[in-house]
Structure 1
Amino acid sequence: MLQRIIICLIVGYLCGCFSTSYFIGKANNIDIRKYGSGNAGTTNALRTLGMKAGALTLLGDALKAIIPILIVSFLVFQNRADVSLLALYTGLGVVLGHNFPFWLNFKGGKGIAATGGVMLAFDWRLGLVAFIVFSVSVAVTRYVSVGSLLISLLFPVAVLVFYPGNIHMLVISFLFTILAFVKHRANIQRLMKGTENKLGQKIKIEDK
């Protein structure tokens, strides 16, 4: 079991290291980590490079979680009783790779788009609920960080509801929440001070 977990974490991590926004930024002749929040993720791509870049980053970061989880679930370990747990470990590896890519000096994104991809590939019900919660919370508050933190909190709650009694799975899902809150420390501080950027605010590259 331990060997399979390690394999899933490594495969997930390597997939997660594909930094979509970094490559999109390079295609636009910038290092996105030097603009806006300095975060290599969807929100910063949206604010810095516009709607198309933000959408492509969201898609790329979600797919890099969805694809390896589907491969693990339906090809590699499809007949194992612990396949769902292994899929969850794969997703955890993806988020770790996204947040801390070795080839970018461990400076990546905050892992929310990847976490959304994990939830969707792991159990479509979790993905659907996460999408609704994120969309409604961002529409009401105009804070992407609020929606991001809410879906990270939703993950272990949903696992508790849909997979009652599976403590191992619950613990792993809670790690996604911890990672999200750690990466959103600055956002939480700005939310408390009322200085957090709202959705729609853009960064002018020429000002940097």
Structure 2
Amino acid sequence: MVYFLAALTGFLLGSIPTGFLVARQRGVDIRSKGSGNIGATNVFRNLGWKAGTFVLLMDAFKGWLGCRCAVFFLDTSTADPVLLLIAGGFASVLGHNYTPWLRFKGGKGIATSAGVLIALTPWGFLMALLAFLIATSISRYVSLGSIMAGIVLPVAVWGRAEPKPILYICILMGTMAVIKHRTNIGRIIAGQEPRIGGAKSKGEGEKTCR
């Protein structure tokens, strides 16, 4: 029961559609702009760096808070604290990706996953962030940076000999990040994915969503 409560709390926190709400405050339906996603990347492209940065930080905070709120259930339970954190954190990512407030259409969970990693494994977060920065700076594809972060994450955690449950959830989150960017992979191969600072592609805009 306590794991369910932790997961429910995390899911509800993660389901808050930050990007949608920020854009709506400005009279914009972000779902009708750019890629149509509600995450920080699309907000950044359409509403500017201030709004995009705010959404990025708040989406990450949702993931971190989803983990930390699980700690409150420890006082009345003998549950494994690591599993509680994982339940709350991963549920917050699912809430972000499939928010019920927008008919279960949300973002891609990269920023929210980052917040979870900060709470669960700072080392894994730093290595994933480094992979993201290197790949993005070289290729100028935000989506490729997110994909590389998802690939590097479980490897970095495995090399650090973290507890097995943390390794498993990192494998799951890394896999989810790659799968969520499968359409971006196709556009990169086809040469249709827009780069940072470059013109938009012939097709739709980049669909990387934080």
Give the TM-score normalised by the residue count of structure 1.
Answer: 0.86
Provide closer, same or farther for how the CA distance between residues 5 and 152 of structure 1 changes in structure 2, counting only shifts above 3 A. Answer: farther
Deviations 1:54-112 (A, max 9, x none): 10010010001112212324x43279672123212211101111010011001111100
The residue identity in structure 2 corresponding to 1:109 is G
Query: 1:146 pairs with 144, 147, 169, which one?
Result: 144
Q: Distance in 2 between matches of 1:83 and 1:150?
A: 29
Alignment of 1:122-161 (within 5 A): 122-161=120-159
1:16 Cα deviation from its structure 2 partner: 0.6
Provide closer, same or farther for how the CA distance between residues 81 and 11 of structure 1 changes in structure 2, counting only shifts above 3 A. Answer: closer
Provide closer, same or farther for how the CA distance between residues 83 and 161 of structure 1 changes in structure 2, counting only shifts above 3 A. Answer: farther
Which residue in the other structure is 1:197 paired with?
194
Confirm or deny that 1:182 pairs with 2:165: no
Q: Distance in 1 between matches of 2:4 and 2:156?
A: 25
Q: Distance in 1 between matches of 2:20 and 2:198?
A: 20
The residue identity in structure 1 corresponding to 2:86 is L
Which residue in the other structure is 2:35 paired with?
37
Provide closer, same or farther for how the CA distance between residues 202 and 96 of structure 1 changes in structure 2, counting only shifts above 3 A. Answer: farther
What is the number of residues matched between the two proteins? Answer: 199
Deviations 1:18-48 (A, max 9, x none): 1111011101111111111111101111111
1:202 Cα deviation from its structure 2 partner: 7.8
Query: 1:171 pairs with 163, 168, 171, which one?
Result: 168
Q: Distance in 1 between matches of 2:42 and 2:143?
A: 12
Provide closer, same or farther for how the CA distance between residues 124 and 98 of structure 1 changes in structure 2, counting only shifts above 3 A. Answer: same
Q: Distance in 1 between matches of 2:78 and 2:161?
A: 17
4+ runs deviating over 4 angstroms: 78-81
Alignment of 1:26-65 (within 5 A): 26-65=24-63
Q: Distance in 2 between matches of 1:52 and 1:131?
A: 21
Q: Is the 8 A contact 1:89 1:172 kept in 2?
A: no
1:186 Cα deviation from its structure 2 partner: 1.3
Residue 77 of structure 1 aligns to a residue whose secondary structure is helix
Q: Distance in 2 between matches of 1:160 and 1:5?
A: 25
Q: Is the 8 A contact 1:62 1:117 kept in 2?
A: yes
Q: Is the 8 A contact 2:120 2:166 kept in 1?
A: no
Q: Distance in 2 between matches of 1:141 and 1:181?
A: 17
Confirm or deny that 1:6 pairs with 2:28: no
Q: Is the 8 A contact 2:125 2:153 kept in 1?
A: no
Unaligned runs of 5+ in 2: 201-210
